[in-house]
Structure 1
Amino acid sequence: MSHPIQTYSLSRGIELSFTDSGAPPNSVDYTTLLVVHGTAFNAYQFHKLHSYAHALNLRTILLHRRDYVGSTPYSLTELEEISEAKKVFWERLSAQLAEFVVMLIQKEGIPRLTQSTESRSEGLDLKGRGGVAIMGWSFGCATVLSLFGVVKNPMISDKHYDLLQEYIGDFILYDPPHVAFGYPVPSDSPNYVPWEDLTIPPGNIPQVFSDWVSSYYDHPCYDPQSRCLSYTASIYDLDGRPKAETTSVSSWTEEEIAKGIEGNNAKTEVSMFMSGMQKTIGVFAHQALFDEKSVQHWFPNAKVTYLGVTRTNWTCAWAEMETKRRYYNAKDFLRQGRDLKFIDIDGANHFPHWEQAQEFLKVLRKGIHSNNTALRG
């Protein structure tokens, strides 16, 4: 079934494009999953989820972020804000995401959020809870974190915030890299990242990045008993070597590459990985997850699920380990931030939504419909 690209026209001339699985037939309690993609790879890579959504009482909306196909490019002013690490850039970006969700609610009449229900039979219990679950993947998690981390965003009206509170039940952080949290990397880290490799000709960076990010890695700190990466390990206990032997992207056809990868857009986002913007990102990421006052005053009732994978690249592996370390240490010292639920997909790389789309969506749905008790890994 084809799902054509649609467009919503927001205020101030901004357009955001997306594809939509549509509402499950005859369902009055389906949950809407809004997916926010990462760097270089646009929303096309998630299109397989549409085929399995209805069977799980889900509606999948795959959003093309600003600067990607069909959505408005960044303005010169916004590019300057990125280079100057301005907070206002994220306030505006998250307000546009909020406006998109409001339009979705009003145009589509999606079901209102109800109380959470426990899923059974590996996520196949079809009793729904309505509402919207917003999932960021990879660096797209920075946009999602900005929505519930830029507290009292002056660009989100009280009216819109009140409506969003009634509908948004879940935020999902799906295999984010450390740069989505602004975590500073030790200066002696031996691990490789393509955007710091000056030997790569600029024209080759999209291919090198695609192979690197979609490879499978065998991290020494993998714990076979818990079937996840040990959060007590360090950044030095990861497999940080560049690889390209077996990758998810190597199976893509030329048509899929043309539709799904926008390598030139990565240049803008690499500037967000630099120290200035990383400090800005670090502030709102901390507020989103670990600041008690911020959590109490901004989307206090939304659940947060951290969906990790065990054979991802080191930047994403370390981000999960570091987030777990900070989360459990905060709990040990009785500092009350936001409750997190950690779920790990054992044996998967950065692309289980492509490699194992149906199984991935089942795991995701089970996470959405579970209660707010953190699952330690």
Structure 2
Amino acid sequence: MPSAPVDAKGTVLYYEDSGAPANSAEYVTVVLIHGTCFHGATFRPLFPHATACNLRLVYVNMRGYPGSSPVSEADFGSTKDEREQTQRDRGFELAAFLCWLIDTEKIPPINGGAGGISLLSWSGGHALSFSMFGNAGLLPEKTRDVLNEYLRSFIMYEPSSAATGTTPPPSFFGVVADRTKSPTDQAIAFGIEVSSYFEPWDLPDTLPTLAPDAPPRCRIQDLPRAGPLERRFEPTVNKMSAEELRDMTHPATFAGTLHFSHWSPLIAAVNAAHVHRALYDPRFPIGPEGALATVWARVRVHLLYCDMTNGSIAWACATIRCGHAGAEEGVRRPMEVHVFNGCNHFLHWEEPERFTEILAKIA
């Protein structure tokens, strides 16, 4: 299995690569970070469309997922400082993977509108990328310099509330895990919830104040209807074959307590701080005099939001949009918001050709 070393301890990350487009020396490489339970294989439907879009697609599995080095509860720690270090380590591993990929695969550097790397994170995978950007000033100078020549954009594709360290109001709260069930049953319930279509919700300009008893956003399949549910509004996992679903999910994610520690208040504060440093104030003391400077200042940021996504995602996207609007202009990273109407959290699987074309336009 292809894997990349990311530290001196023998830690590796599994990846799959669509390969460089034929007869193209100046393609754009998009590195894809998966979400919770659904690992990198969920991006495989994009690969057949990469060459036509002059893209090279590389997905990487996070620690604890198939092919990558495991991570234990002991590794994660129990105090805020320990968990901050753990999250920082994961971000450093991602930076190391990008540098390894650049060197090993001879990725072309940024040259105008081509070359370089665009980093895309999906759902819970944002905890990894926010950590890398949020701790960019602590990376080795050589790593910062290499990525400065290659990082062209950061695509936030439907970040989760857990990864952003935010707590949705009750009417937006999504997955409620039943830990008395087996990991497989928890994964099934999780898959149905996150891949359902919900009543459309427009991103607000300011975060709304919602009463605790406000009615929840409903899944389309739960709304009253006269006839059968339209096929397109069925949860995405119901459209997958048993083999496809098995090949892209990792039910062991829900075994033990490790996964649920990622949703704890201790890690929420850490993730929220990373979001702030990644997007709203990305300046770090750099150099012997410690002058504040933005690391990777030319990186363009995009937020991709699907208006029929689940509550946790919708709320996280709203908090990012509003938090960015309230940050100091000239300090915050420039960000564009892209809204996709009539789409759920699995746009990349539901419409892989369209999604790849979207990436080609913004990467």
Q: Shorter-chain TM-score: what band?
A: 0.7 to 0.9
1:320 to 317, 320, 323: 317
2:47 & 2:341 partners in 1: Cα distance? 23
Kindly indicate whether the alpha-carbon contact (under 8 Å) linking 1:192 and 1:241 is maintained by their aligned counterparts in 2: no
Residue 138 of structure 1 is matched in structure 2 by: 123
Q: Deviations over 1:212-236 (max 9, x none)?
A: 00000113x43xxxxxx33446374
1:86 & 1:151 partners in 2: Cα distance? 17
Q: CA deviation at 1:80?
A: 2.3
Residue 111 of structure 2 is matched in structure 1 by: 114
- Matched letter for residue 141 of structure 1: H
Q: Deviations over 1:158-187 (max 9, x none)?
A: 11221111011111110011221112345x
Kindly indicate whether the alpha-carbon contact (under 8 Å) linking 1:68 and 1:262 is maintained by their aligned counterparts in 2: yes
Kindly indicate whether the alpha-carbon contact (under 8 Å) linking 2:183 and 2:251 is maintained by their aligned counterparts in 1: no
Alpha-carbon distance change, 78 to 287 in structure 1, aligned in 2, over 3 angstroms: same
Residue 154 of structure 2 is matched in structure 1 by: 171
Q: Are 1:157 and 2:154 counterparts?
A: no
Q: CA deviation at 1:193?
A: 2.9
Kindly indicate whether the alpha-carbon contact (under 8 Å) linking 1:313 and 1:350 is maintained by their aligned counterparts in 2: yes
Q: CA deviation at 1:84?
A: 6.7
Alpha-carbon distance change, 206 to 147 in structure 1, aligned in 2, over 3 angstroms: same
- Matched letter for residue 205 of structure 1: Q
1:253 to 235, 241, 250: 241
Q: Are 1:180 and 2:168 counterparts?
A: no
Alpha-carbon distance change, 69 to 261 in structure 1, aligned in 2, over 3 angstroms: same
Residue 260 of structure 2 is matched in structure 1 by: 270
1:199 & 1:264 partners in 2: Cα distance? 14
Alpha-carbon distance change, 360 to 238 in structure 1, aligned in 2, over 3 angstroms: farther
Residue 21 of structure 1 is matched in structure 2 by: 18
- Matched letter for residue 182 of structure 1: G
Q: Are 1:343 and 2:324 counterparts?
A: no
Residue 123 of structure 1 is matched in structure 2 by: none
Alpha-carbon distance change, 68 to 165 in structure 1, aligned in 2, over 3 angstroms: same
1:139 & 1:252 partners in 2: Cα distance? 21
1:238 & 1:132 partners in 2: Cα distance? 42
Kindly indicate whether the alpha-carbon contact (under 8 Å) linking 1:82 and 1:277 is maintained by their aligned counterparts in 2: no
Q: CA deviation at 1:284?
A: 1.2
Q: Deviations over 1:25-66 (max 9, x none)?
A: 111110000000010001111101110001100000011111
Specify every segment of 5 or more residues in structure 2 that has no aligned partner in the other structure, as ranges. Answer: 223-233, 285-291
Kindly indicate whether the alpha-carbon contact (under 8 Å) linking 2:29 and 2:58 is maintained by their aligned counterparts in 1: yes
Q: Are 1:34 and 2:31 counterparts?
A: yes
Kindly indicate whether the alpha-carbon contact (under 8 Å) linking 2:39 and 2:248 is maintained by their aligned counterparts in 1: yes
TM-score (norm 1): 0.83
2:221 & 2:3 partners in 1: Cα distance? 36
Alpha-carbon distance change, 106 to 232 in structure 1, aligned in 2, over 3 angstroms: same
2:73 & 2:40 partners in 1: Cα distance? 24
Q: Deviations over 1:129-173 (max 9, x none)?
A: 1000011000101111111111422xx321122111101111111
2:300 & 2:87 partners in 1: Cα distance? 21
Tell me, what secondary structure is at the counterpart of 1:194? coil
1:85 & 1:242 partners in 2: Cα distance? 38
1:215 to 196, 203, 207: 196
1:292 & 1:55 partners in 2: Cα distance? 35
2:197 & 2:348 partners in 1: Cα distance? 14
Q: CA deviation at 1:362?
A: 0.8
Q: CA deviation at 1:192?
A: 3.9
Q: CA deviation at 1:269?
A: 2.9
2:250 & 2:81 partners in 1: Cα distance? 24
Tell which deviates more after alignment, 162-171 or 320-329. 320-329
Q: Deviations over 1:50-95 (max 9, x none)?
A: 1000110000001111101100001454132588752111221111
- Matched letter for residue 189 of structure 2: V
Residue 226 of structure 1 is matched in structure 2 by: none
Tell me, what secondary structure is at the counterpart of 1:47? helix
Residue 59 of structure 2 is matched in structure 1 by: 62
1:250 & 1:235 partners in 2: Cα distance? 34
- Matched letter for residue 2 of structure 2: Q
Q: Counterparts in 2 of 1:292-303, with a 5 A limit?
A: 293-294=283-284, 296-303=293-300
Alpha-carbon distance change, 324 to 71 in structure 1, aligned in 2, over 3 angstroms: same
Residue 372 of structure 1 is matched in structure 2 by: none
Kindly indicate whether the alpha-carbon contact (under 8 Å) linking 1:84 and 1:276 is maintained by their aligned counterparts in 2: no
Kindly indicate whether the alpha-carbon contact (under 8 Å) linking 2:31 and 2:58 is maintained by their aligned counterparts in 1: yes
2:263 & 2:221 partners in 1: Cα distance? 23
Residue 52 of structure 1 is matched in structure 2 by: 49
1:287 & 1:112 partners in 2: Cα distance? 25
Tell me, what secondary structure is at the counterpart of 1:86? helix
**Percent of pairs with identical residues:** 28
Alpha-carbon distance change, 31 to 292 in structure 1, aligned in 2, over 3 angstroms: closer
Tell me, what secondary structure is at the counterpart of 1:171? strand
Specify every segment of 5 or more residues in structure 1 that has no aligned partner in the other structure, as ranges. Answer: 117-128, 223-228, 369-377
Residue 91 of structure 2 is matched in structure 1 by: 94
Report how many aligned residue pairs link the two structures.
339
Alpha-carbon distance change, 159 to 61 in structure 1, aligned in 2, over 3 angstroms: same
RMSD of aligned alpha carbons: 2.4
